[in-house]
Structure 1
Amino acid sequence: MRQSPDSTFDPLAALRPAPGLRVLVTGGTSGIGLAIVRVLEAAGARVHVCGTDADRLAAHLGAVDGRTGTVCDVSSETEVRTLFAEAHEALGGLDVLVNNAGIAGPTAPVEKVDPAEWRRTLDIDLTGAFLCAREAAPLLRDTSGAIVNISSVAGRLGYALRSPYNAAKFGMRGLTESLARELGPDGVRVNEVLPGFVDSDRLNRTTQARAEAMEVPFEEVEQILLSKTSLRTKVSEEEVALLVAYLLSPAARGISGQSLSICGNVEYL
């Protein structure tokens, strides 16, 4: 006999994060981080953010009633501990950590990369994610929560002239898979999102730096980048944020330890 549809099941609701999620987004005052904050807040989440610029953070917090935040450099153990103490106080617990804070690092041949810039890039882009995950783990075990690490297609493809950033993003994949195995028995899901060429001020800056390193016009480098993408297009910050929201929805409850690219299929870098 043909069964009637289950009237209690709402497929659209299953694709949205549950209202009331308590979320910490690092690097949440601009770019992809800000897009993630806005999408999750629209879904009913309570969001605590961090950033390194006190003035920008103050303007960010003043834009929405109830939004909270902390000035924090995620490469500092002391500042990360303060961040989590303030986030816990503001939210009353934690359901989600979005590790988004990061820098582009230098664009240069490896022999011209300053070792201090190498260390700074890894300290923020990789060690920062580790320090935040370290503080978040006991809180997320209590709530069977989730971690989403924002990485890059540079975490699955080699990237000439960007060795510090490339190494940090490959490291993020290992961190993601390790945490997924370690925290999974407690119901904590860990995934990473790999954006491609995101239409943003940051991409314009790195493209300009690459053009200068290659001694060619900006427009030529931009066309080279797009030619490496099957869809010949950039992605938007909002598209990245929507993928994060999906990973926090009931529909994604079986997804963990995965690296999901949102890039128009970048074929090579």
Structure 2
Amino acid sequence: MDLGITGLRVLVTAGAAGIGRAVVEAFLEEGARVFACDVDAQALADLPAEVGRSRTDVADRDAVAAMITAALDHLGGLDVLVNNAGIAGPTGRVEEIAPEEWDRCLSVCLTSQYNCARLAVPHLRDSRNASIVNLSSAAGKFGFGLRSPYAAAKWGVIGFTKSLAIELGEAGIRVNAILPGLVAGDRQRRVLEAKAQQQGTSFGEMEQRAFSFVSIKTYVTARQIADQILLLCSPRGGTISGQAIAIDGDTRMLS
């Protein structure tokens, strides 16, 4: 299917690995032009040659400003911002979480999206097919015991997304959030292992418990998430805006 995004100018944060890398590759396959930032210099070096890149901590506002300038220079403008950067944050009861761990989790998972959107929006206003996709989580809809910083940040992403959709609708800029749920990969495994250890159970038992809360009873892949983002950012995305979209069928709750 031709999604009509050839030549689309796309910026992906944390685009060198995991979901971000899948998003970068998916846009490239459809003929888009892509710029990616990440904190991992080696992963950035492994990106396809045509991808613009910048080693950037998106929680650092000065670094984001320099990255946005580099992206605009490379792309010649901007049509799409994919706010993918995030960290798992600490696992533990709220009284056990260090304040600096709380602050860092919210800075990367939530405030970084503001840092990027604030500077990207003036350029998106000049696009004829502008969109922002913010990565949230099922934890941002239902909460997640022992992961309060992460859940709070991802809940904030949904509020930020819906507010931006209202604010930017008149400019024709679509804004949506993706709620990936259980994503196959090392990061998800580490999260489940940490929670299993905290609750004194096995990884296998924790994994099956996690599957019990989603209708498809399995992991989703980074590419499935990327494909949803492609659709939302294409002209076929139509007037879809202000939505928090799950990719795992139906998540009922997290525990």
- TM-score, structure 2 as length reference: 0.97
Q: Give the partner amino acid of 1:240.
A: I
For 2:40, which of 45, 49, 53 is the aligned residue? 53
For 1:247, which of 227, 232, 238 is the aligned residue? 232
For 1:127, which of 108, 111, 114 is the aligned residue? 111
The corresponding residue for 2:165 is 180
| Aligned length in residues | 253
What SS does the corresponding residue of 2:133 show, helix, strand or coil?
strand
Alpha-carbon distance between aligned partners in 2 of 1:17 and 1:105, rounded to the nearest angstrom: 37
Moved over 4 A (4+): none
Q: How far 1:17 moved relative to its partner?
A: 4.4
Within 5 Å, which residues of 2 pair with 1:13-92?
13=2, 16-60=3-47, 64-92=48-76
Within 5 Å, which residues of 2 pair with 1:136-155?
136-144=120-128, 145-155=130-140
For 2:242, which of 245, 257, 268 is the aligned residue? 257
What SS does the corresponding residue of 1:197 show, helix, strand or coil?
coil
Alpha-carbon distance between aligned partners in 1 of 2:215 and 2:50, rounded to the nearest angstrom: 42
| Distance change (3 Å), C-alpha of 1:262 and 1:17 | farther
The corresponding residue for 2:179 is 194
Gaps of 5+ in 2: none
What SS does the corresponding residue of 1:205 show, helix, strand or coil?
helix
Q: How far 1:56 moved relative to its partner?
A: 2.0
What SS does the corresponding residue of 1:156 show, helix, strand or coil?
helix
What SS does the corresponding residue of 1:143 show, helix, strand or coil?
coil
Q: Mark the structure with the bigger radius of gyration.
A: 1
For 1:211, which of 169, 191, 196 is the aligned residue? 196
Alpha-carbon distance between aligned partners in 2 of 1:114 and 1:232, rounded to the nearest angstrom: 34
| Distance change (3 Å), C-alpha of 1:17 and 1:117 | farther
Alpha-carbon distance between aligned partners in 2 of 1:225 and 1:231, rounded to the nearest angstrom: 11
Contact residue 215 and residue 248 of structure 2 kept, 8 A: no
Gaps of 5+ in 1: 1-11
Contact residue 153 and residue 263 of structure 1 kept, 8 A: no
Alpha-carbon distance between aligned partners in 1 of 2:230 and 2:86, rounded to the nearest angstrom: 20
- TM-score, structure 1 as length reference: 0.92
Note the aligned Cα RMSD (angstroms): 1.0
% identical equivalent positions: 46
More off after superposition, 145-154 vs 228-237: 228-237
Residue deviations 1:215-252 (CA, integer Å, cap 9, x gap): 11111111110111122111111100000001012221
Q: How far 1:55 moved relative to its partner?
A: 2.1
Contact residue 133 and residue 177 of structure 2 kept, 8 A: yes
Matching of residue 95 in structure 1 with residue 55 in structure 2:
no
Matching of residue 170 in structure 1 with residue 170 in structure 2:
no
